[in-house]
Structure formats: C-alpha cells, structure tokens
Structure 1
Amino acid sequence: MKLSAPSLAATDGISHGFFTRQGGISGGLYASLNCGPSSRDDAANVTENRARVAELLGAERDRLLSVQQQHGARAVIAERPWKAGAAPQADAIVTATPGLAIGVLTADCAPVLFRDARARVVGAAHAGWRGALSGIIEATVAAMQELGARQKNIAAAIGPAISQRAYEVGHDFMQTILAEDADGAPYFAIDEGSGEPHFDLAGYVGERLARAGVGDVSDLGVCTYCDETRLFSYRRSQHHGESDYGRQISAILLA
C-alpha cells in the first residue's frame, strides 16, 4: 500500500509513506486508493481513502492536510488543520506540529518528503517541472528553516515520478528549461529513434535539492508511468484515452 525511504524510515518519531493506488475503496479508473479531491471520483470515497492514509501514518482520520496545488513555488507552514474547503493554494507544506499529517498529490510529478530530525520539522513538496524550475524545492527548505531546521540536517526523499524513459518532451520544452536554468542540460537525453528529448524529472529535482543545501537526498527510482498496477499516471491515462485519473498521496507526520 505504501513505499518508504530508508533515510526517512530510520528516524524515530516520524512516520511517512509514498502511498500507492492500492488499499482504498474507489473503483473503475480510480481503483482503489485515490486521494485526489479534484478528481471526478465520488467525494465520499476520496474522504475515506484519505482517512485510511491518516490512520496508517498514526494521525487522526481528519488530520491529513494537502493544498490546492498550482505547479508553482509557494510553500506554506501548517500549525493546525485547515477549515473545510479552505486549503491554501501552494505546492508544499511544512510543519512542526505533532500529530498533523501533511501530504502532496501526484500522478507523474515528483513528490518530495523532508525531515529535520533534530529540529523536529517535516515537509512535503509537489515538484513538477514548472515548480522545480521556479523554486518549489528552495521555498520548502526556506519554510523549514523558519521553523528552526538547518539545511545540512535535512533529509529528503523523492518518491514515484515519471521516469526519463517515459517522459518524452518537445524541443520547445527543453529550450524553456534551459533558457532559465542552463544547468538543467544534463537532465535531457535525445531519443535515437524519435529525435525528441526525454527529461529526467527526478534527477532534476535531486539537483535542485543539492543546490538548496539539503544534506541527504535519496530517490526511490520508481516510475509512475511504467507501474500501472501500483501507481496512477496522468500521461498513461492520456495515452489510454481515459477521461480522468486518480492521484496518489505522499505524506509525513511528526508523532
């Protein structure tokens, strides 16, 4: 039902999970642990799925927070649950509040979970290419520092995301990235057959984590597109001509 990162799992008093699509109650395209409120799945199913995730992390069923993701670079600090329907627009959450689970939703973008075990601060970021390019990783680290974290003490793990092999992009896409960040060049590879570039999203997110001074960076190396049994994928759903897609959640909790 969930994947874990050894660097985060070894930390006492912090629980986390990169949850898969398995173990929920949704059916059809959303089978079965769809945690995305913005999908067209039955809202009651999504609520129950998220409650199950909260319980597995060790939180109360209604204390799993996510945000209205924008593919941007805003990170927010959570001190208490949001009011119903009032989740902020952002792409990362950090907290130092015990018992408050924080998470991000993905279906090809890279989820990143953070912890500073000494400062007792955790974070969760949604890093698509736009967010990574515009600074969501750096914003998350800065927000953690506001709560007392230190860069060298932060461990970050990159969860399931679309792999470079499956992520064909256009030359315009590549030029957009390189116009803003020339150091992104190593994360493109030209396919010998199609002549089109492929982008290593997880690798680029790892590069941005290193630039942000994060002391311990790991990558689960799991591809959302390739693993249809366990993971939702937006791009795969488009290739299959499906009308919608589910979202998996990656979340972390201070006990």
Structure 2
Amino acid sequence: MTDLPVLTSRLLDVAGVRHAFFTRQGGVSTGIYEGLNVGEGSRDAPEAVTENRRRAAAHLGGDLVTAFQVHSARAVVAEGPWPGATPEADAVVSATPGVICGALAADCAPILMIDPRARVVAAAHAGWQGALTGVAEAAIVQMETLGARRDRIVAAVGPCIGAMSYEVGLEYRQRFVEVDAAYGAFFSAGAAADKRQFDLPAFVLSRLEAAGVGACEALGRDTCAEPDLFFSNRRAFKMGEPDYGRLLSGIVLI
C-alpha cells in the first residue's frame, strides 16, 4: 500500500475493506491540475493522470475501476477491469476482492458503501441530477443482487460542495419540489431574493436514510471552500479557469 493524504469514514473502517476519499495532494499534475488529478476527461497531461490513478490504486491495493460518468442513476457491477469500452454509469458495485470501486467528483458528492457481512462494496457519483433521480438507490439495488441487504449497508458521503458555497436559482429548487414538496427543506435563503443555497450532502444523506441503509454519515468537507485540499468545478468557474481536476473516492475488498 502506498501512502497518500486521504480522508476516511469511521463507518467504513471495517475488517477486510480499505477505502479512501482522496484529496488533491500527493500527485504529479501541475498548473491548475496541481496534485492528484485522476480525471481522464480533463485536459491534463494523460501521462500525469495515469500516474495519479496508479498511485491511488497502489494506496488501496487493487485495480481501479471507474465508469464514464454522465450524471445518471445507473449502477454497474464490476468483476475486474472493464473488458471493453468503459460503461456509462455513475455507480460501480463489486463483490470481487481487489476491485477498487471508484467515483470521480469535483463538487458532486461521492458516496462509498459496504455491506460488511455480504462483502459487497460500491462507489457512487451523486451530483444534483444523480442524487435526485436515484443513483444511490440504484447502487443499493445492484448491491442487493450480489447478496447485500440494505439494512446492513453503511454509507459515507465524502467531500463535496457545501451549502454555503452552493448558490442556485429558484428554478433549480422548483425541479426538486416538483418531485417531492419536502425537498424544499434542503434550500435556504440566498444573498438575493431569487437565489437559494442548496445543501447537497444533507439531501444525499436523506435519500440514503429513506432507502433504508443501516447507517450513513457525511464527512462535512466543502470542496469549493478548501482549495489546498480539493478540486472544485464551481471554484474554477468563479476564477475563470478553463478546466479543473477531479478527485477520487474508492473502496475495495481485501
């Protein structure tokens, strides 16, 4: 195992499993991607991204498997590295030791999950679209096909954009309350009358709880507000930068 600066969850600290919410520290990328950028979809030097992914995989001790993320509610099962084209999905599930289920994010919420008894793990990428349409629930359903039970599943929401950094318009809130009026509780007053602050991690936790997981928590770190530790799409946009790095969250059975 190669040591890198990472964050972890007490809920996922169980025997036979390794997990990590990686920061941007410890990588070889430079410039606006400085550090551990693992985003193959970024415009970073491909050889730097490859080395960063290798370092992350070495830290966890397995083969890193990530999907082509499209802000969907689709989850796929991985038994090893993809034999062909990378599937379009936003959650990767596995019951195979050595397969690192990975999720990339740069403000969206990464979710890591495990059923310790069934030995099934998952990593999901939940932006507002995926969270609203059910990416966490889709991952849970795929975990159940491998023998997991949702009341045994524990989940952790990693670093993502916090409510104080996530200003949205009223039309954004409308999308949520059209699905369920109760979702309006995750929006607070903004700096202007036509703005609201959206609490993404709290919303993701609420969806996990409603899905019936045994326990869940959020790490409470704001990617937009901590530039030394995290990449952030919104921060990059505010600073006029042309692109941004991607963070990795991963979990593996050992």
Interval containing the TM-score (normalised by the shorter chain): over 0.9
Aligned partner of 2:111 in structure 1 is 112
Identity across aligned pairs (percent)? Answer: 49
| Aligned residue among 192, 195, 206 for 1:194 | 192
What pairs with 1:16-95 in structure 2 (closer than 5 Å)?
A: 16-59=19-62, 63-83=63-83, 86-95=85-94
Equivalent position SS for 2:216: strand
**CA contact 2:12–2:156 (8 Å) conserved in 1:** yes
2:7 partner amino acid: L
Q: Does residue 6 in structure 1 map to residue 10 in structure 2? A: yes
Equivalent position SS for 2:205: helix
Equivalent position SS for 2:197: strand
After superposing on structure 2, the runs of 4+ consecutive aligned residues of structure 1 that deviate more than 2 Å are none
Aligned partner of 2:226 in structure 1 is 227
1:8-34, Cα deviation, whole Å (9 max, x unpaired): 02x001000000000000000101100
Distance of 1:162 and 1:76 partners within structure 2: 25
1:74 partner amino acid: R
Q: Does residue 151 in structure 1 map to residue 155 in structure 2? A: no
Equivalent position SS for 2:167: coil
State the Cα distance separating 1:118 from its structure 2 match: 0.2
Aligned partner of 2:124 in structure 1 is 125
Q: Does residue 209 in structure 1 map to residue 213 in structure 2? A: no
2:249 partner amino acid: S
Equivalent position SS for 1:143: helix
Aligned partner of 1:173 in structure 2 is 172
**CA contact 2:163–2:199 (8 Å) conserved in 1:** yes
Distance of 1:94 and 1:182 partners within structure 2: 31
TM-score, normalised to structure 1, is 0.96
TM-score, normalised to structure 2, is 0.97
State the Cα distance separating 1:183 from its structure 2 match: 2.1
1:6 partner amino acid: R
Aligned partner of 2:251 in structure 1 is 252
State the Cα distance separating 1:181 from its structure 2 match: 2.2
Q: Which runs of 5+ in 2 are unaligned?
A: none
Q: Which runs of 5+ in 1 are unaligned?
A: none
